[in-house]
Amino acid sequence: MPTQAITDNRAFLVEKVIKNYSGIFDASTTERVAVIRRDKISRPVIYLGTGTSGSISGAKATLGKINSYLSEARFSADIIEVGCTGFCSAEPLLDIQLPGKTRLSFRNVTEDKVEDILNSVFHHTLPDDHILGQYKQDGLEEWPNIPMLEQISWFSLQRRHILKNAGIISPASIEDYIVRGGYKSLYKTVLNYPADKICEIIEQSELRGRGGGGYPTGKKWKVALDTAGDQKFMICNADESDPGAFMDRAVIESDPHRVIEGIAIAAYAIGASQAIIYVRTDYENSLKILEQAIGQAKDYGMIGEDIFGSGFNLSVSIRQGAGAFVCGEETALLSSLEGQRGLPRSKPPFPAEKGLWEHPTVINNVETLANVPGILENGPGWFKAVGTKYSKGTKLFSIAGKSVYTGFIEVPMGLTFSTIISQIAGGVKDGRALKAVQLGGPSGVCIPPADLETPLDYEALSDKGVNLGLGGLIILDDKTCMVNLARYFIEFLQNESCGKCIPCREGTSKMLDILEGITKRPKEESTHETLERFKGVVQLENLASVIRDTSLCGLGRNAPNPVLSSLKWFREEFEEHIFDRKCSAGVCHDLRSFYIDVDLCNGCNICQKKCPENAIVGSLKMPHFIIESKCTGCAICFDACKFSAIFFK
């Protein structure tokens, strides 16, 4: 049974906050809202980012340490577990707010740092290290000489609409969301607008699907709304399957109610009474948070029967994907939901006309839906004010790989790659040179440094034949072998191909064969095989064009991208691998050639004994040599040498 306080809060939040149309509160409401927002606190509040990236970085241990510190020091403070602000490389992120003062943020607070930081902050001093910045909060006393968070480079270029609450509020609390304006858009929607009007507003905002295709969302909704059907479905695609992209997970983990509100509005707009959230099964944390959030939303009457007395019913359920990359493709996702193998279907007919069990179905990804409440709250004009001519609004990007900072960001459409890399991500780690930026997941492309001034929006990229995809950016430094990376992506794709159509199933597997031939050195190679290897690039290009032309779904059509883009911009690396049998980056192990530094070798003979190819000669206590023509680059000698006398080039 809910306690009195909870039911009180519920009634208060629904009646006085959500249904308050003007947004102007009387004094007592303002006071109560401030308390719920934790602007007004009576004892210190500690916020800890315990989302997936926080947990991986050790936030759970930090949490344990905080608890034990508080009980030992007999200090009373509230601990709020929050999601992630996006600054993942700074995780675990710990914020502390003292009564009357602004919220302070600390980075990389592993368990050993907890005591120092809490000690000093509770005594109103500041530790020397780990300070990230402070939040801007009106009416609270600022800490001296501490930068505002929005001033630091990671945040300064961001426009945080979707991420407004991320890392700030507790994802486990619907109250936190409501006192920040949440569910007001839904209230407005179901009470004031007919469904087609909502489609129109979204169309006016020029919101485009953030799942990769970039199809206008309002238009898609309109098609589903206009298609006759007694049953319609709204599906939220949270099967973010691109390795290297994790924004959707972060949005769910940090601000789940924003997604649920988006889903509810979308369902209303297309006339659906059933919504399904399709979540990746690996994302256990997201799953837990979503389940909890759906329960709360039901409890508050935000979803369920007769929402806000409007007669609009909506049931929201969660379905776990069972682990198949192809199910990110919308028709494959539908097959999976129907209990089948996740095979894509031919389009047309599009799901908006004939989707789940042939009913009109709209499938939007998490980011698209998270944009919806903001658009209804502030109007399409507000949304359109940001971005470029054909790409409006903000876009989430995840930054991973070899940059100094990693995480996820929300920036206006149209920033250039170089701005994001140098100004937000802090450039390349360890002072190395940038080789390329990989965009759009495994079937994405590698952008060379020469093209980094390209703005990140739909049309500038499509001019270059590139798909924005989900928005995963991976920074590659000069130690990356582009051939090997292309091989990795093709290996991934051939493994994840559904196997239905010939070009994708057989084509990607043949491309992989060719790329493996290029990156590996067999023990013996017949003349025929050498010739095959020499034909490699031509065959790759031929296969790529056919796969692109004939594949059934988007996964197949885009599968050749990593090879084609690498071939286009890094062709000399392929040639080096094929003709010189050399990998400058030293990544393709089989192509390394080893040599022994005669000055370091003391002739212990271990390498000679271990060499499976008898490629090492030398007598005991005398420097040994490697016969290059016999060496297959297996590196056993390299691992075996106790004197680090073996090197490779």
**Residues 407-426 close enough to bind another protein by CB under 8 A:** 407-408
Please report which helix (H) or strand (E) contains residue 75, including its range: none
Give the shortest CB-325-to-another protein separation in angstroms. 6
Give the shortest CB-479-to-another protein separation in angstroms. 9
Give the shortest CB-422-to-another protein separation in angstroms. 18
Q: Select the residue interacting with another protein from 244, 271, 414, 469 (CB under 8 A).
A: 244
Q: Cis link prior to 560 (omega < 30° from 0)?
A: no
Q: Select the residue interacting with another protein from 396, 498, 537, 641 (CB under 8 A).
A: 498
Residues 92-131, interacting with another protein (CB under 8 A)? none
Q: Select the residue interacting with another protein from 337, 352, 483, 540 (CB under 8 A).
A: 337
**Residue 488 engages another protein in binding (rule: CB under 8 A):** yes
**Residue 469 engages another protein in binding (rule: CB under 8 A):** no
**Residue 237 engages another protein in binding (rule: CB under 8 A):** no
Decide whether 91 or 576 has the Cβ nearer to another protein. 91
Q: Token pair for residue 490?
A: 């093709």
- Is 153:132 a contact under the CB 8 Å cutoff? no
Q: Cis link prior to 194 (omega < 30° from 0)?
A: no
User: Of the ranges 141-149, 245-253, 260-268, 410-418, which one interacts with another protein (CB under 8 A)?
Assistant: 245-253
> Taking the mean position of all CA atoms in its chain, how far away is CA 152?
22
For residue 24, the tally of other CB atoms under 10 A from its CB is 8
CA–CA gap between residue 88 and residue 106 (Å, rounded): 12
- Is 268:188 a contact under the CB 8 Å cutoff? no
Give the shortest CB-357-to-another protein separation in angstroms. 8
3 state SS for 168-221: CCCCCCHHHHHCCCCCHHHHHHHHHCCHHHHHHHHHHHCCECCCCCCCEHHHHH
Give the shortest CB-495-to-another protein separation in angstroms. 5
Q: Select the residue interacting with another protein from 320, 416, 419, 422 (CB under 8 A).
A: 320
Question: Which positions ≥6 away from 330 have C-beta within 8 Å?
Answer: 211, 237, 351, 363
Q: Select the residue interacting with another protein from 311, 339, 523, 644 (CB under 8 A).
A: 339
- Is 481:583 a contact under the CB 8 Å cutoff? yes
Residues 180-199, interacting with another protein (CB under 8 A)? none
CA–CA gap between residue 57 and residue 50 (Å, rounded): 9
- Is 526:508 a contact under the CB 8 Å cutoff? no
Give the shortest CB-623-to-another protein separation in angstroms. 28
Decide whether 325 or 458 has the Cβ nearer to another protein. 325
Decide whether 302 or 475 has the Cβ nearer to another protein. 475
- Is 217:207 a contact under the CB 8 Å cutoff? yes
Cross-strand pairs, 257: none
Give the shortest CB-163-to-another protein separation in angstroms. 15
Residues 554-613, interacting with another protein (CB under 8 A)? 557
Give the shortest CB-610-to-another protein separation in angstroms. 14
**Residue 208 engages another protein in binding (rule: CB under 8 A):** no
Give the shortest CB-590-to-another protein separation in angstroms. 13
Residues 501-520, interacting with another protein (CB under 8 A)? 501-503, 505-510, 513
- Count of residues interacting with another protein (CB under 8 A): 85
Give the shortest CB-519-to-another protein separation in angstroms. 12
**Residue 352 engages another protein in binding (rule: CB under 8 A):** no
User: Of the ranges 28-36, 53-61, 109-117, 449-457, which one interacts with another protein (CB under 8 A)?
Assistant: 53-61
Residues 391-410, interacting with another protein (CB under 8 A)? 398-402, 406-408
Name the residue type at position 446.
C
Q: Select the residue interacting with another protein from 133, 182, 328, 342 (CB under 8 A).
A: 342
**Residue 432 engages another protein in binding (rule: CB under 8 A):** no
Instruction: List, as one string, the DSSP characters of 452-495.
Output: TTSB-SHHHHHHTT---TT-EEEEEETT--HHHHHHHHHHHHHH
User: Of the ranges 10-18, 191-199, 241-249, 305-313, which one interacts with another protein (CB under 8 A)?
Assistant: 241-249
- Measuring CA to CA, how many Å separate 62 from each of 49, 59, 92, 452, 632? 10, 5, 8, 39, 47
Sign of the alpha-carbon dihedral angle for 356, 361, 362, 366: negative
Which of left, alpha, beta for 34 (phi over 0: left; psi -120 to 50: alpha)?
A: alpha
